[in-house]
Amino acid sequence: MNDCILLRYGELGLKSKRTRPRLEKNYLRIIKDALKRTGFDDFRIDNFGGRFVLFIADADKTIDVLKRVPGIQSLSPAQTINFSDENDLISKANKLVKNVIVGKTFYIKAKRIGKHKFSSMDITKKLGSKLFNKSKGVDATNPEVKIFLEIRDEKCFLFTKTYTGVGGLPLDTVNKVLCLFSGGIDSPVAAVKMLKRGCKVDFLFVNLVGEKLLRDVSKIYNFLITNYSFGYSPKIFIVDGKALVNKIKKDVPDSIRQIAYKIALYKIGELISKKNDYLCLVGGESLSQKSSQTLKSLLFIEKQADISMLRPLLTFDKIQITVIAKNIGTLSMSEKIKEYCGLSDGPVTTAPDEKCLKKIPSFEKEIDFAVTNMNVIKGLILLDTSEKTDIPKINNVIGVDIRSEIIQKKIPLKTDKQIPYSEVIDRLDEFSKEKSYVLICEFGVRGEDIASELRSKGIKAAGVDMEDYVKYFLKK
């Protein structure tokens, strides 16, 4: 059983000797926060001359968390070997992997740091000769099993798998930014992209509809900051935009209402940013994806606000953005967010000019009122569950808890099955078309992600958060 994780950073290693120590402190800080936030308390991280190694029981269970931590380029669950000499190392390594290579091709690679009476090649040859007879032979091109030994002084870390991490830079490397957040497919992806670049990301949500939309957006926001914003507790600015929309529909020609709304949104972001020291706004726009996202529209809209705009998805097409949203776990829930379509009914302007600007009011009164009366929340949004929410109607359901094993143990929940999210996608064949399922997680986002996969296979399923499961599904 693996007892440690080898952690590798990429871009951070390119920094100067003066800058790197500070970034390494941030790197370690957010890794520790990520582990503690997700229920792992008993661990330590040692520095072996530039290689950080996390020592923790059941190391494999931390992979899902560590793969989401900005700054980690790759990670390898490993087994620690304490050895006295070459023969001792080969003997112990052989015991660990001899059953793994039975009937399979294999390849061994050793890396050695420190003073030893043997070379990396010595270890490779002698361990390989011990394993050879039980295997199908050595294959250096495409082996079925890859065995890596990282030897550092009197310790050796043996591993057979390496996982790709987020990469990028650890949080707090860059200043804080304000993300325009609708909860749709694009904005959560844009936020995660900025987190990867070391930014502290806060959020601005302009609510054009009401409580139902706020509840759905809140679930995605809560999921994002819990699972990706390690080392920082973000704020969200919730602005009531209904009066602003009414003003736009009353005073702005139909063809440029979308442009007018985006200008007002930028100005709201500008006003909040100046009061809270944000250097820039972040948006999820993709070039030419919509009428308000043509190059002329984007340049025109941005000129109307006195603040810089970052668009991490500018060159991504919708398919690419959707794939990323799927990977981070927000796609299925974001698809439930209904975009406000009541602004324009007919043809819309895609190349606005100064003539258009003369037809757009300043909205100063509406913007000042909205910002003055906005709700600012730090950390999680605590939702009001006193009223019945939009719960799917599924009778005689089987409850499946997809939270991590450690959270399941710390906060037990009465369900029919317990399958951690990291495993459930590989166990979809255990679900039957003759039955109905509810997938439960902290905020319902991952539950809906898996439920969507099941529905695509013709299986009745829905994703809900813990509170809704207890309130509407749990048999008392």
> What's the chain's length in residues?
476
More confident residue, 340 or 456: 456
| C-alpha separations of 86 from 48, 113, 149, 156 in Å | 20, 14, 13, 11
CA nearest 248: which of 357, 414, 361, 353?
A: 361
Q: What was the pLDDT predicted at 150?
A: 95
Tokens of 270: 């500008």
Kindly state the average pLDDT of the residues 139-156: 94
**Inter-CA distances, 45 with 5, 62, 398, Å:** 9, 13, 40
pTM equals 0.89
**Overall average pLDDT of the 249-278 stretch:** 90
pLDDT of residue 190: 97
Q: Which of 237, 268, 246, 281 is nearest to 374 (CA)?
A: 237
* HSE-CB for 434 with a 13 A CA cutoff: 1
Q: Is the pLDDT of residue 279 over 80?
A: yes
What does 24-46 look like in DSSP terms, one character per residue?
Answer: HHHHHHHHHHHHHHTT--SEEEE
Judge: domain 176-378, CATH 3.40.50.620: yes
Tokens of 260: 């007018």
**Is it the case that residue 304 has pLDDT exceeding 90?**
no
pLDDT above 60: residue 101: yes
Structure tokens at 60: 């494999």
Does the structure show a pLDDT above 80 at 174?
Answer: no
Residue pLDDT, tens place only, 332-367: 999 988 765 556 666 777 777 788 878 888 888 889
What distance in Å separates the CA atoms of residue 193 and residue 199, rounded to the nearest whole number?
9
Q: How far apart are the first and last CA of the chain?
A: 39
Q: Residue with structure tokens 């459930």?
A: 424
Tell me which H or E stretch contains 180.
strand 176-180
Point out the least confidently predicted range of 52-56, 268-272, 452-456, 467-471: 467-471
Q: Which two structure tokens, joined as six digits, stand for 455? A: 């529905």
Going through 242-341 in order, the beta strands assigned E by DSSP cover: 280-282, 308-310
| Residue 51 confidence (pLDDT) | 86
- The first and second tokens of residue 242, run together, are 């209904």
User: Residues 361-408: pLDDT tens digits?
Assistant: 888 888 999 999 999 999 999 876 555 555 666 667 899 999 998 899
User: pLDDT tens, 108-123?
Assistant: 999 999 899 999 999 9
What was the pLDDT predicted at 389? 56
CA-angle at 194, arms to 189 and 200, nearest 5° = 125
Chain segment 283-300, per-residue pLDDT in tens: 999 988 877 788 888 888
Q: Is residue 6 scored above 70 in pLDDT?
A: yes
Q: Rounded CA gap, 422 and 35, in Å?
A: 16
Q: How far apart (Å, rounded) are the C-alpha atoms in residues 21 and 368? A: 44
- Whole-number Å distance between alpha carbons of 161 and 157: 12
Average confidence (pLDDT) over 416-433: 92
Between CA 50 and CA 469 the distance in angstroms is 46
**Greatest C-alpha distance within the chain:** 84
Q: Hey, what are 204's tokens?
A: 């601005």
Contact 85, 71 (CB under 8 A): no
Burial class (CB in 10 A: 0-12, 13-18, 19+), 413: middle
| CA separation for the pair 53, 42 (Å, rounded) | 14
* Three-state secondary-structure class, residue 349: coil
pLDDT at 403 (0 to 100): 93
Tokens of 231: 């080392």
- The residue ranges of every structural domain in the chain are 4-164, 176-378, 397-472
Q: What is the pLDDT of residues 224-250, one digit of tens each?
A: 999 999 999 999 999 999 889 888 888
Nearest to 154 by CA among 216, 112, 187: 112
Q: For residue 353, which phi and psi values (nearest 5 degrees)?
A: -140, -170
pLDDT at position 357, please?
78
At 17-38, the pLDDT tens digits run: 888 888 889 999 999 999 999 8
- Quote the mean pLDDT of the chain: 90
Q: How far apart are CA 310 and CA 284, in angstroms?
A: 9
pLDDT of residue 391: 60
SS3 423: helix
The listed range with the strongest mean pLDDT (89-93, 172-176, 251-255, 464-468) is: 89-93
Please give the class, per CATH, of domain 397-472.
alpha beta
Paired tokens of 125? 């040859």
> Which residue type occupies 214?
L
Strands ordered across the beta sheet of 280-282: 308-310, 280-282, 176-180, 200-207, 235-240, 375-378
What is the pLDDT at residue 49? 76
CATH architecture of 4-164: 2-Layer Sandwich (3.30)
- Quick one: average pLDDT of 414-429? 92
**Angle, helices 211-227/186-196, rounded to nearest 10 degrees:** 30
> Which of helix, strand or coil describes residue 326?
helix
